[in-house]
């Protein structure tokens, strides 16, 4: 019988087992490292006079761990491809590119977020306990930073977008994927800004005040006009389109590109 | 089974490794892929395995375009690379993780190959020597029962008794529906094993004949003295005498000397090739 060459759930299960068997030790070590690092900074604060009283005071550590840890982990997802022997083994194993990609995608998204939140919540409970012991009062649990209103949800959209960027970087760059992806992001931002500046010059001449008085492709401030300055902003509909693209289109597009980059990999 | 047509490939622009290389390999044979260092033996095996993509031409195995690396193709091919990776797990865990991907994997055969190679079955893979690891991967490769088995320098790192064990298990494993390709530069290791010789040089296949045809057309002898009257195509002198390749005009049966043939074809290609055309 001809097998399904794209997705076979039994084969996906085998591949997931295979991946976990080969990687559970580094993953476990990584989970303990996350937990340790999340404990380290608040514990240091607790031992000094700067003990946190509110949950919101340690939330920065949570976000830092989420982004730095998650993106570093994602950028290492295809490290095997940088090694000829491991890369051959990875590509020759009889599972489809989609099954291999999807397994790594799941591990770096659902897997990481699950482990990270278990580790950070455990660290928080321990920190709270330590705070009760030392200051006879626990942390004030102000969970507002997780409130989906107030724009906090955009932090998670940003994380998803950056995950897609770093996953693409992990497939594309053979070595030092994290650093190379960071450099590529900076170059893209620079290029984006240059293109925007070119458009602004074409449309408004050189009447723009400083480079930082415009939001690329959204808003431009110029000299002149009744009040010496005019502000031009794109229509609300276009802003909504930008937001829609940023929230729902960019990350899936980048994941798809990463998948096709994996298909094109040679050793 | 393996069909390569007008293959073009280069690692760098303007420095082609293969130009218009064509090769057709059938089931039921053990092919010896021979060539000088840098001739492209490993690269050709990678093309067959789908690890490298052709710049031009086609490379197909059992009708599958190898570059697509589809599971239906990958489960019918196993590559034993010269340098390979084995994870830090036991042999049993390795089998448990890898065997389900190969529908005809024969666990009993795997452990019998290990026994043949004298490999302890309860050992961690990382605690093994390079030679032992190589024997494990060769045993696994044979036990997968894939239709195509390709091996890149499989005897590197094997001790002398293991080389003979290797020949024994390989000869026992070949069946009418399997195609085995072994690349090596240690041609003596493949004596009595391969039944077809493929020599790669100068960006293409320069020789592709089965051993029977070679011994029908050529005669391999060790002479005490060279005689100008004999139809000598190639001679190599040593302390033992002169190893020569002659035109087999009297249809004598002789044992093929793979190393001598390889050297003869590389240094005196034309008259030998003319004999086979």
Quick check: is A27 in a domain?
yes
Distances (CA, A) of A24 to A19, A121, A186, A217: 8, 21, 33, 45
Quick check: is A187 in a domain? yes
Query: How many Cβ contacts (< 8 angstroms) between chains A and B?
Result: 74
Contact status of B158 with chain A (Cβ, < 8 Å): no
Q: Looking at the partner chain, which of A2, A21, A94 has a beta carbon nearest the beta carbon of B97? A: A21
3-state SS track over chain B: CEEEEEEEEEEECCEEEEEEEEEEECCCEEEEEEECCCCCHHHHHHHHHCCCCCCEEEEEECCEEHHHCCHHHHCCEEEECCCCCCCCCEHHHHHHHHHHHCCCCCHHHHHHHHHHCCCCCCCEHHHCCHHHHHHHHHHHHHHCCCCEEEEECCCCCCCHHHHHHHHHHHHHHCCCCCEEEEEECCHHHHCCCCCEEEEEECCEEEEEEEHHHHHHHEEEEEECCCCCCCCEEEEEEECCEEEEEEECCCCCCCCCCHHHHHHHHHHCHHHHHHHHC
User: Hey, what domains does chain B have and what are their CATH numbers?
Assistant: 2-202 (3.40.50.300), 211-276 (no CATH)
What number is the average pLDDT over the span B78-101? 93
Under the banding of pLDDT at 50, 70 and 90, the label for residue B225 is: confident
For residue A84, give the nearest of B75, B83, B100 by CB distance.
Answer: B83
Residue A97 is part of which domain span?
9-195+241-263
Contacts of A94 in chain B (CB under 8 A): 71, 74-75, 101-102
Domain count, chain A: 1
pLDDT tens for residues B213-222? 999 899 898 8
Q: Does B11 touch chain A (CB under 8 A)?
A: no
Q: Which residues of A touch B (CB under 8 A)?
A: 2-5, 8, 11, 14, 17-18, 21-22, 25, 83-86, 88-89, 91-97, 263-264, 266-267
A219 occurs within a structural domain: no
Best of B45, B48, B85 to substitute, by most chain A Cβ atoms within 10 angstroms, is B85
What is the pTM assigned to this prediction?
0.91
Distance from CA of B159 to the nearest CA of A (A): 22
Measure the CA–CA gap between B107 and B143, rounded to whole angstroms: 7
What would the pLDDT profile of A62-82 be if each residue is shown by its tens digit? 899 999 999 999 999 999 999
Chain A contacts of B98, Cβ < 8 Å? 18, 93
Tell me the percentage of chain A whose pLDDT exceeds 70.
92
- Measured from the Cβ of residue B274, the count of other Cβ atoms closer than 10 Å reads 8
Lowest mean pLDDT among A83-97, A119-133, A226-240, B48-62: A226-240
* Residue A41 belongs to some domain of the structure: yes
- For B117-142, how does the pLDDT look when each residue is reduced to its tens digit (9 = 90+)? 999 988 889 889 999 999 999 999 99
What average pLDDT does the structure give for chain A? Answer: 87
Instruction: Evaluate if residue A52 carries a pLDDT over 80.
Output: no
Give the distance from residue A195's alpha carbon to the nearest chain B alpha carbon, in angstroms. 33
Task: Quote ipTM for the complex.
Answer: 0.90
Residue A25 lies in a domain: yes
Report the residue from A17, A25, A96 with minimal CB separation from B71: A96
B97 close to B46: Cβ distance less than 8 angstroms: no
Per DSSP (E only), the strands in chain A are 214-215, 219-223, 229-233
Give the pLDDT score at B78.
97
């Amino acid at each position: 019988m001809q097998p399904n060459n794209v997705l076979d759930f039994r084969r996906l299960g085998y591949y997931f087992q295979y991946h976990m068997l080969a990687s559970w030790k580094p993953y476990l070590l990584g989970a303990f490292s996350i937990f340790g690092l999340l404990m380290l900074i608040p514990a240091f604060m607790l031992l000094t006079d700067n003990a946190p009283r509110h949950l919101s005071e340690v939330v920065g550590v949570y976000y830092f761990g989420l982004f730095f840890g998650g993106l570093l982990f994602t950028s290492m997802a295809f490290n095997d491809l940088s090694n000829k022997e491991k890369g051959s083994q990875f590509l020759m194993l009889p599972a489809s590119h989609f099954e291999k990609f999807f397994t790594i995608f799941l591990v770096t998204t659902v897997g990481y977020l699950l482990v990270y939140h278990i580790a950070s919540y455990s660290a928080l409970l321990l920190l709270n306990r330590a705070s009760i012991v030392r200051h006879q009062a626990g942390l004030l649990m102000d969970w507002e930073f997780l409130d989906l209103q107030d724009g906090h949800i955009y932090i998670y959209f940003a994380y998803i977008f950056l995950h897609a960027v770093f996953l693409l970087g992990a497939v594309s760059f053979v070595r030092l994927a994290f650093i190379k992806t960071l450099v590529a992001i900076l170059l893209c931002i620079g290029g984006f800004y240059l293109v925007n500046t070119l458009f602004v010059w074409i449309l408004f001449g050189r009447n723009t005040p400083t480079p930082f008085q415009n939001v690329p492709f959204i808003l431009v401030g110029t000299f002149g006009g009744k009040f010496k300055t005019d502000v031009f902003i794109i229509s609300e509909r276009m802003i909504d389109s930008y937001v829609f693209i940023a929230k729902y289109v960019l990350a899936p597009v980048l994941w798809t590109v990463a998948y096709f980059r994996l298909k094109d990999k040679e050793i | 089974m393996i069909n390569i047509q007008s293959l073009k490939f280069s690692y760098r622009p303007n420095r082609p490794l293969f130009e218009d290389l064509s090769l057709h390999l059938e089931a039921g044979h053990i092919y010896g892929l021979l060539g000088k260092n840098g001739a492209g033996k490993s690269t050709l095996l990678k093309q067959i395995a789908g690890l490298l993509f052709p710049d031009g031409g086609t490379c197909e195995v059992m009708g599958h375009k190898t570059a697509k690396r589809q599971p239906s193709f990958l489960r019918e091919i196993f590559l034993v690379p010269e340098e390979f990776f084995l994870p830090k797990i036991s042999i049993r865990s390795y089998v448990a993780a890898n065997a389900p991907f190969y529908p005809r994997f024969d666990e009993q055969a795997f452990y019998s190959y290990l026994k043949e190679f004298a490999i302890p079955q309860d050992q961690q893979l990382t605690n093994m020597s390079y030679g032992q690891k190589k024997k494990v991967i060769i045993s696994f490769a044979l036990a997968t029962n894939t239709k195509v088995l390709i091996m890149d320098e499989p005897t590197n790192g094997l001790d002398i008794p293991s080389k003979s064990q290797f020949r024994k298990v390989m000869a026992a494993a070949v069946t009418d529906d399997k195609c085995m390709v072994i690349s090596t530069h240690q041609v003596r290791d493949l004596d009595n094993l391969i039944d077809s010789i493929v020599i790669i040089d100068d960006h293409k296949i320069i020789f592709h004949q089965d051993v029977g045809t070679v011994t029908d057309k050529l005669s391999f002898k060790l002479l005490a003295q060279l005689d100008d009257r004999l139809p000598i195509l190639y001679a190599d002198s040593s302390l033992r005498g002169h190893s020569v390749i002659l035109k087999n005009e009297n249809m004598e049966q002789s044992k093929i000397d793979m190393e001598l043939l390889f050297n003869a074809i590389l240094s005196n290609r034309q008259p030998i090739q003319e004999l086979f055309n």
